[in-house]
Amino acid sequence: MKKQRGQLIILSGPSGAGKGTVCQAATAHNPNLKISISATTRAPRGAERDGVEYFFLDKADFEKKIEENAFLEYAKVHDHYYGTPKAHVLQMLDEGTDVILEIDVQGAAQIKEKLGFGVLIFIAPPSIEVLKKRLVNRKTDSDAQIQLRMKNALTELKQAEHYDYVIVNDTVDQAAADLEAIIRAERCRTQNNLEIIEEMLM
């Protein structure tokens, strides 16, 4: 029987919603679910390894790949490029692996438009109050940065209506279970199984 192609999961949500934590919890339960590795021009930090945490490229190589249309999306942040390598993602999907792209709302729309497929999932906090509490408890941002993140969160929440699913991250375990349930359901969609049916009818 032909192996089913992997599902592309495009995940967005405001800072503090817990996207990364939910992704890590879901991938810990599901060996066929992988988080896409981004490419960057910044230097490795600490024990970061090329091809594990990031694909590390120099600026010239990155800009060459931009010209070659080798990224699904890319952005320049604090003088460093970050991008999602197209070939890496498509190879994993062809191998039957479900791939998560954790990306902002602008990048999510770009990728869906460029590829013509993908499941858009928005991770939302249970309330604005909880979101602010999570940002404060991280102790990584100044008061001004927290206020900016809260302002951006309201803008991002308005985009949730354009997504296929919304997961409210009240508890990580439940949110991860919801993410896994969506992926299982998407694998059962008729359009994703027609080749198997046609194979049996030959």
pLDDT in tens, 137-177: 887 778 888 898 899 999 999 999 999 999 999 999 999 99
Residue-range definition of the domain harbouring residue 133: 8-36+97-201
181 lies in some domain: yes
CA 100/CA 35 separation, integer angstroms: 5
Sign of the CA dihedral with 189 first, then 107, 155, and 12 last: positive
- Digit-coded pLDDT (tens) for 72-119: 988 887 788 989 999 999 999 999 999 999 988 888 888 888 888 999
Say if 76 falls within a structural domain: no
Residue 96 known to bind ligand? no
Residue with tokens 């993908």: 118
Residue 18 counted as an annotated binding residue: yes
Instruction: Please indicate, yes or no, if residue 131 is contained in any of the structural domains.
Output: yes
Q: Is the pLDDT of residue 191 over 90?
A: no
Residue 164 belongs to domain with CATH number: 3.40.50.300
Res 107: pLDDT: 82
Pairwise CA distance, residues 109 & 104, whole Å: 9
Query: Annotation-wise, does 116 bind a ligand?
Result: no
Task: Tell whether 68 is covered by a domain.
Answer: no
Residue position matching structure tokens 């438009």? 113
Indicate the number of domains in the chain. 1
Q: Three-state SS for 120?
A: strand
In a domain, residue 110? The reply is yes
Token pair 């490029």: residue: 81
51 within a domain of the structure (yes/no): no
Residue 15 assigned as binding residue: yes
Q: Report how far residue 163's alpha carbon sits from residue 109's, in angstroms, rounded to the nearest whole number.
A: 9
Higher pLDDT, 125 or 191: 125
